[in-house]
Chain A
Amino acid sequence: MNVPENLHYAESHEWVNPENPDAAPVGISDHAQAELSDVVYLELPAVGTVVAKGDSIAVIESVKAANDIYSPVSGEIVEVNEGLVEAPEPINADPYEAGWMVKIKLSDTSEIEGLLDSAAYQKILS
């Protein structure tokens, strides 16, 4: 299972890349996309939505079920990956790059420390 070192992970299997705290991309992990398999529909929040860590920010649907995506951080949604709404395949094919779902302007960068690093996330997967 691919778990990049530069990302931070929530136990609910979302990742965030805090490198640019004004527009930090968020998506779901390789493990999560494999568990879902065949994402067929994605519902994204409106740009400008203010979210708290743990809020549901998106709904992702496979053939079998609908699942909430929870924000790993607090902040404001500054960009959404509209292309995924038309064609969600990158969520399965490229979950850490083309499959990013939203970008969040972090309101509290210290929250990052409360997330799992790559090693800790790999541990909960094993």
Chain B
Amino acid sequence: MHRSPLHEKHLELGARIVPFAGWEMPIQYTGIVAEHHAVRKDVGAFDISHMGELEISGKTAKLFLNGLLTNDVSVLSDGEGQYTLMLNEEGGVIDDLILYRLDSERYFLVVNASKIDEDVSWITSQLEQGIALTNHSDGYGGIAVQGPKAVALWKSLEPEMPLPERNGISESAGGTVLCRTGYTGEDGFELFDSVDRIGEWFDRIIAAGATPCGLGARDTLRLEKGYPLNGSDLDGTHTPLEAGLGFFVKLDKPDGFIGSEALIAQKESGLPSRLVAVKLTGKAPPLRHGYEIADPSSGAVLGTLCSGSLSPTLGVGIGMAYLPAAFAKIGTQFSILIRGREFPAEVVKKPFV
């Protein structure tokens, strides 16, 4: 089990620690609901040291990445980033990630903790002459500072180190990496630095007023915005088209990308399923991963929830599920089975909030 460089600080702050993706991470400090609201209304700080940081470099890095990933790398200028996906040959998702262009020959990739090893071995198997892959994951710690007051907090801490533009990246001379991205739907930034220096950043960010937030709030915040979690909502058997991520898939790239032929074929034959947002319509328990969704008239089970929780903002159960395309229309009514009882739910538009 890996331990974050911020582990001792979490214990001092009273965090409850749980295993996640091979790491011991804080799930909450004071409570998920309070931490959730802190990010929506003020500013919160998350330990994201578990996430992976990769660098791909070489004269032909742009060309290489355009064949590896779904989004169009060629639109990025220095200091810009984009959400993108890495697929297998069948069009299934290996990982979803943010790709940043540091300069024309150096790209920075932030990938899911649970997928670092798989990503590295996949990319290594695809490497071409002149392209180098460096895995910085063990050397970097990370903190996501999120919420409407995140930018003001940073300005008060480091007025001389401006944040990059939305989705962008900047590197300080001292080696601190700042990314204007996140997983909460709020403005904010992610800071990566060496494991020796990340603790000091964390102390300063908390002292400046950020509420320490755990993985529990991270999950409710991302789910309210309809952001998928790899391993739950994305997997090797569903394509990004089924996941509703077509915006980040550029099928018109001249040389295609790994998985593009499968996606084009799927688009022509029609999507077998769609990842939909479901919301309970009355008083009911929170939704959970694995709950079955049934057609209320026939009782037939149509799918299972891949994500589920209670929306702290809305006060109702929300979740996501792959459903046959015919049942994926906004407003379609369902039953969700919870401990043998049926609760009414419907397909709603993403985001929930």
State the A residues within 8 Å of B (CB): 37-38, 40-41, 43, 59, 61-64, 66, 86
Contacts and interface: CB of A to CB of B under 8 A. Distances in A.
A66 B312 CA distance: 16
B216 A64 contact: yes
Given A59-B339, A63-B216, A63-B220, A41 B31 contact: no
Contact of B286 (A37, A61, A86): A61
11 contacts: A37-B31, A37-B32, A38-B33, A40-B286, A43-B285, A59-B285, A59-B339, A61-B285, A62-B32, A63-B32, A63-B312
A66 B33 contact: no
Nearest to B219: A64
Interface string B25-46: 0011011111000000000000
Nearest to B16: A35
Interface of B: 27-28, 30-34, 216, 220, 283-286, 288, 309-310, 312, 339
B285 A63 contact: no
Contacts, number: 41
A108 to B, nearest CB: 29
Given A62-B32, A63-B216, A63-B310, 19 more contacts: A37-B28, A37-B30, A37-B32, A38-B32, A38-B34, A41-B284, A41-B285, A41-B286, A43-B285, A43-B339, A59-B285, A61-B286, A63-B32, A63-B220, A64-B27, A64-B32, A64-B216, A66-B286, A66-B288
Contacts of B309: 63-64
A45 to B, nearest CB: 13
Contacts of A86: 283
A18 to B, nearest CB: 30
A40 B310 contact: yes
Contacts of B288: 66
Contacts of B30: 37
A41 B27 CA distance: 20
A39 B31 CA distance: 10
A72 B345 CA distance: 35
A86 B220 CA distance: 22
Nearest to B214: A64
Contacts of A38: 31-34
A61 B280 CA distance: 16
A26 B271 CA distance: 52
A66 B285 contact: yes
B343 to A, nearest CB: 11
Contacts of B283: 86
Contacts of A64: 27-28, 32, 216, 309
A14 B31 CA distance: 21
